[in-house]
Amino acid sequence: MGKADFLSPKAISNRIKAKGLQKLRWYCQMCQKQCRDENGFKCHCMSESHQRQLLLASENPNRFMDYFSDEFKNDFLELLRRRFGLCKVDETPKGWYVQYIDRDPETIRLQEEQAKKKKQELDDEERSAKFIEEQVRRGQESKETDETPVYTELKRESEEEKGLCLVVISGHLSAETQSEKHYSCCFAFNLGASCSIAGPSKSSSALGASALKAASSTKRKDTSSSSDSRGEKKKKSALEEIIEMEEEKKKKMKQSIRTDHWLQPNIVVKVITKRLGEKYHKKKAVITEVRDKYTAVVKIIDSGDKLKLDQNHVETVIPAPGKKVLILNGPYRDMEAVLEGIDEKHFCATLTLDSGQQKGKRVDIAYEDFSKLA
């Protein structure tokens, strides 16, 4: 029988067989033999040579596994070195870590544009933060200067310059063991005119009383004018309003402290773990009991099976609009609400509170912070 033609199907199949370019599932790694079809691979596995090779491998399996692993590693690194030269390879305790570096000019240009945009956003945020800090600092300084009293030296001026009104009140002080002693008191008021009254006469006492009344009235006017000026000073400036807004934001942030656990009984959740198999994956369940804040006993709605799952193995369920939900985290935690609408762009939903003191209030809550009530 003559030799087959170079382009004949038989010749092509022989060359493919010689190169080993056939299905991998018909290749015996232990014997390093490539079979052409399933029947040939089955016959090879039942052959005496294959059985003998398995007995040799069973005596020292680690030696064969290490040999295959080294062979794969060497070939893989050689491929990286020849074909993919732009790679960053590190050997870590967990194994080899390979990072491919894309040196395409278009990719580099996009990365540089993204870096510039990110840097510009950070610069704008830093600039606005520094401006707010500067405004707050100036506001605090101005507030301190306004509230700090200024003490000056006491200067006494002559009576003629200031126009003092001297009121002399005279009388007698009686005592049991002492004789009657004459006394006199002198009060000075800035009335804008000068006068002198002396002697213990009645007219002097009457005039002194009138002067006291005038002085008290002027004092009231002074206090009223000073209170008006203080009222004008107490008007809030823009800086003080900024400070108050920052304090209110801090209070709101304190009130909205989040917790790392959100499980609550009587809510509907979805099983997202694949460790339990396809039977329970993506199935909805109702939480019947919460243990240690992070573990829940759930009941599968379809089958009625009970499972014990960690909170990382389940996720919240968003019902249709108009259904009741329970808020699980944030400042409105443990409050019931009604779902009004969903904002897919910002990954949140609009809820109307249905319990508590703020009943009827509309709030925006993230998807992971509320779930459907059972």
Question: Per the domain annotation, does 242 fall within a domain?
Answer: no
Question: Per the domain annotation, does 32 fall within a domain?
Answer: yes
pLDDT value of position 144: 61
Question: Per the domain annotation, does 190 fall within a domain?
Answer: yes
Q: Are 47 and 30 in contact (CB under 8 A)?
A: no
Mean pLDDT of the chain: 75
CB neighbours (10 Å) of residue 313?
20
Residues sharing a CB contact under 8 Å with residue 242, sequence separation 6 or more, in sequence order: 132, 135, 136, 139
Where is the domain boundary, 40, 64, 96? Answer: 96
Question: Per the domain annotation, does 119 fall within a domain?
Answer: no
pTM assigned to the model: 0.35
Distances 360 to 299, 332, 336 between C-alpha atoms, Å: 32, 13, 11
Q: Is 95 exposed, middle or buried (0-12, 13-18, 19+ CB in 10 A)?
A: exposed
Q: Do residues 290 and 357 share a domain?
A: yes
Q: Do residues 286 and 211 share a domain?
A: no
Question: Per the domain annotation, does 117 fall within a domain?
Answer: no
Tens digit of each residue's pLDDT (9 = 90 or more) over 206-229: 445 555 455 455 555 555 555 454
Q: Do residues 362 and 272 share a domain?
A: yes
Structure tokens of 146? 């306004």
Structure tokens of 165? 């009104």
Tens digit of each residue's pLDDT (9 = 90 or more) over 226-284: 545 454 445 667 778 888 888 877 766 655 577 888 999 999 999 998 888 888 889 99
| Full residue range of the structural domain in which residue 23 is found | 9-96
CB neighbours (10 Å) of residue 94?
6
- Report the distance separating Cα 329 and Cα 368, nearest Å: 8
SS3 190: strand
Asked if pLDDT for residue 156 goes beyond 80, the answer is no
Asked if pLDDT for residue 180 goes beyond 50, the answer is no
Question: Per the domain annotation, does 124 fall within a domain?
Answer: no
Q: Are 309 and 295 in contact (CB under 8 A)?
A: yes
pLDDT value of position 39: 92
Which CATH number characterizes residue 303's domain? 2.30.30.30
Q: Do residues 13 and 92 share a domain?
A: yes
The gap from C-alpha 21 to its chain's centroid, in whole angstroms, comes to 55
Where is the domain boundary, 75, 96, 117? Answer: 96
How many domains does the chain contain in total?
3
Question: Per the domain annotation, does 116 fall within a domain?
Answer: no
Question: Per the domain annotation, does 231 fall within a domain?
Answer: no
Where is the domain boundary, 81, 96, 111? Answer: 96
Tens digit of each residue's pLDDT (9 = 90 or more) over 310-335: 999 999 999 999 999 999 988 888 89
